[in-house]
Amino acid sequence: MDETANAEQPSVPLGVLLADPALGLTQVAGPAAEDRTVGTVGTTELEDPTPYLVGGEFLLTSGVRLPDDADGIDTYVRRVVAAGVAALGFGVAPVHAEVPPALVRSCDRHGLPLLRLPPATPFVAVGQAAYAAIAASRNRELREISRAQSALASAAARPDALRSVLGQLAAHTGAWSVLYDAQGTELLSAGHRPASPHLLRDLAVRTLRRDAGPTAAAVHDADLGVHLTVHTLPAGDGRTTAATLALGQAAATPPTVVHRQVTGTATVLLALLTSPRHALSTDTHSVGALVLLMLGATPAEVAPALIPGDGSAAGGPAAGGSTAGGPTAGGHWTVVHGRHRDGAPATAGPAQLATLSGLLGTPYVHIDGPALKALVPCAADAGPRVSDRAADLGWVLGYSAPAAAGDLPHADIQAGRALQRALATGTPAVVHTADPLTLHALVAPADARDLARTRFAPLDEAGPPGTPVLLGTLRTWLTLHGSWDRTATALGVHRNTVRHRLARVADLLDLDLQDPGTRMELWFALQWLPGEAPHQHP
């Protein structure tokens, strides 16, 4: 029998009818009535009513054609149990003064609840009570479904839409809700994590391998006291699957009609949120900004097209600002650089982009192999929201200080250097910091720029690998306090390559790089080279 289909049919617990004082029912045989649900009430006086039964009935009889002998009664009970009858109701008087003892024994033997109807209770009254209870239960379910769907819709409109939808799903189903990508990597989750989460992941992977179409599919399983459900999310190309939504909950409380309806709504929303159009943020603001850039506009001219004036920028409160007046009232941005662990190329599917967009608080995310870059709208004085979950997904991140659109090239440099420090130190994320009370304020900018040009002019005669490479190696080495190994790690080269480059720098500049004063002078001069932002030095 299809348990899922039966669970969708409106029904009422038999215990509800048993507890109705107006009916006066009493249980005289069989298992506890609370364990049975009734989908309909039927009346029959046939010796064999099974051809007219569909299962789930509370079958009422006064015993007009009930067999006289115990064997005949036992055959009658076996037949109705095999037909799926939920319970048997026996009305006493006028045919039988009391429930036949043979019927009581047979119902006990075959596990069929047997209820006694007093003479004053019409069969019709039992049906009316059952249908009224079913209608009331259905109304409660519909109200609960409506509240849950409203909460899911509101969650889908939040900046952190994926996380919010999963949170609402977990709250309304009591299940651990988790989103896996097409490779089975956990992207986001909400709710109480079960003792054996690997079972849910394994089921998700198996479902992905079986499902070759774009439509969502569900698989039910129970193991180690949990009930597992998996729904596939279509990728939008009509052939592949972008991700899976998986739920795990206690086996003692399997999914109800409400749970299935709420999960269905959440599945649709998550499929939309992980679709290429949404994940890549092809909204009118982004498209307009792209048109302006391709027609030669500057970043400062394009930035207002990416930040709606009503404060509803994609970064939203998740980007780290307040909601009053919008988080991007200052028109500033944080640049984020990222590197996937071990330099492995990252999967840049819509589900992954949508997840990273929610974690970083921006739709403006670009993944190229193992590298990531993002622009996060923020207020001028707002620090970035560093995501721990991004590290769980294998990303090491570097954040710039907030910058106006015209200063984004400098912020890009800051984010790149912050990422280098994060990689070198094994830190999940490094945020660029700036102290306005610095030595730079004591030196005239023109003099500082002349010093930088003069100090590094000999490097123009360096030859391969070139001045930018030598300066970059020197800068990284100074940032990491003269560590050869950490510099090599940050630059992705061998430590001997670092030593060779710095020896070349020391030779051309005729300086001792082991002298602290020399290092300080070089570090100061580096900040005043063309393209640097000395007022926001690392």
Q: What is the pLDDT of residues 218-253, one digit of tens each?
A: 555 555 566 777 777 766 555 556 677 777 776 666
pLDDT band at 106 (very low <50, low <70, confident <90, very high): very high
Rounded to the nearest integer, the mean pLDDT of the chain is 80
Pick from 250, 270, 272: nearest CA to 173 = 250
The pLDDT-based confidence of 257 (bands split at 50, 70, 90) is confident
User: What pLDDT score does 324 carry?
Assistant: 33
- Percentages helix, strand, coil for the chain, rounded to the nearest 5? 45, 15, 35
The identity of residue 261, as a single letter, is Q
Over the stretch 477-534, which tens digit does the pLDDT of each residue have? 988 888 889 889 888 899 999 999 999 988 898 889 888 888 888 888 888 887 665 5
Helix segments in 307-387, DSSP class H: 350-360
Sign of CA dihedral 10, 11, 16, 22: positive
Percent of the chain beyond pLDDT 90? 28
**Residue 96 to residues 54, 59, 119, 156, 190: CA-CA distances in angstroms?**
27, 17, 10, 62, 58
Please tell me the predicted confidence (pLDDT) of residue 251.
Answer: 61
Q: Tell me which H or E stretch contains 429.
A: strand 429-431
- The pLDDT confidence band at residue 322, using thresholds 50, 70 and 90, is very low
- Looking at residue 490, its pLDDT comes to 87
Maximal CA-CA distance, the chain: 119
DSSP count for the chain of H helices, then E strands? 19, 18
Would you state the pLDDT for residue 284?
60
Q: What sign does the dihedral 482-486-490-492 (CA atoms) show?
A: positive
d(CA 299, CA 403): 12
Which neighbouring-strand residues pair with 188? 179
Chain segment 346-363, per-residue pLDDT in tens: 566 677 777 888 888 887
pTM for the structure as a whole: 0.60
Cβ-proximal residues to 186 (8 Å cutoff; 6+ apart), any chain: 178, 179, 180, 201, 392
Place 304 in a pLDDT band, splitting at 50, 70 and 90.
confident
92 pLDDT higher than 60:
yes
- CA angle, 434 then 438 then 444, to 5°: 120
Per-residue pLDDT at 187 exceeds 70: yes
